[in-house]
Amino acid sequence: MTGLKWTRKTTRNISKELHKVDISVSHTTVARLLDELDYRLRVNHKKLAGTKHPQRNEQFEYIAWQRRLFEQNGIPIASVDAKKRELVGNFKNAGALWCLTPELVNDHDFRTDAVGIAILYGVYDLVANCGALSVGTSHDTAYFAVDSLTAWWQVEAGTRYAHTKQLLVLADNGGSNGSRVRAWRYALQHKLADPFGVTITVCHYPPGTSKWNPIEHRLFAEISKNWKGQPLRSYETILNFICTTTTETGLRVAATLRAGDYPTGVKISDAEMKLLSITPHEVCPQWNYTIHPRAAAECEVIS
């Protein structure tokens, strides 16, 4: 007895190994005995959470309180995030669909065979149950994220919520809209708060908890269901699948191709950060803050 509690061997190979030590048993008997002992071919399960931040529960309670407060006052709440980027071309897309013949796609997902890469950034309106996605062709940067949010405010929210100039934004803690990304705060000030006179309250989910961001399961999951098993051969195909995503609860989604160049590595200096009108909250100030619109004389021109 070696104490071995797992193996990758097939039942036939286990039978052969047992024969080497004079135990005569067929592979079918091995399979039956393993079944009786409750052994199965099992995969790894992602069940163990990482180390929890000491303020994790406090932040979740604060976000819940902020959501109730804004909802009661009819103020828009936008859940934002970047979806997994997609290779555009004749490539396999996860999922299955009913059809007479399977779609024939490339046997390898080489970047050189792609039309391009689709950078997807979404805004989900919790109050109206509506989504808006920007499909970029460059990079997922803070400026791309804020341009997507600003476009949503101009086209949809500005009309839908004409009675208010306030906005609550729920965002993850990393990526282009991370709590430590200076360009994210800088762009929010210059591209949304100042030009449109919007007071923006931002609440970030604690590290490692992005799956609780509403956009993940209320918008992104539905889009993935809508295009599962369908090769995303062009940007037009991606836009069509996004725009035709609906649910029984009335979800509606709009999509826009944003083909501008968004370079990475943009640096915001300490001096530039000091000019922003940002008020940290008393609760978890590293994750919660409000950006106030500035008077025209205070604003700097942004390129």
> Count of CB atoms within 10 A of residue 97's CB?
11
CA atoms of 278 and 293, how far apart (whole Å): 9
CA atoms of 152 and 149, how far apart (whole Å): 5
CA atoms of 215 and 77, how far apart (whole Å): 11
| pLDDT given at position 302 | 40
Instruction: Provide CB contacts within 8 A for 277, sequence distance 6+.
Output: 189, 193, 291, 292, 293, 294, 298
**pLDDT tens, residue order, the chain (303 aa):** 556 666 788 999 989 988 988 899 999 999 999 999 888 888 888 777 666 888 999 999 999 999 999 999 999 999 999 999 999 999 999 999 888 999 999 999 999 999 999 999 999 999 999 999 999 999 999 999 999 999 999 999 988 999 999 999 999 999 999 999 999 999 999 999 999 999 999 999 999 999 999 999 999 999 999 999 999 999 999 999 999 999 999 999 999 999 999 999 999 999 999 999 999 999 999 999 999 999 864 654 443
Q: Report whether 293 contacts 190 (CB < 8 A).
A: no
Q: Report whether 186 contacts 268 (CB < 8 A).
A: yes
Instruction: Provide CB contacts within 8 A for 129, sequence distance 6+.
Output: 218, 249, 250, 251, 252
Q: Report whether 111 contacts 234 (CB < 8 A).
A: no
Nearest to 186 by CA among 269, 114, 128: 269
| pLDDT given at position 130 | 97
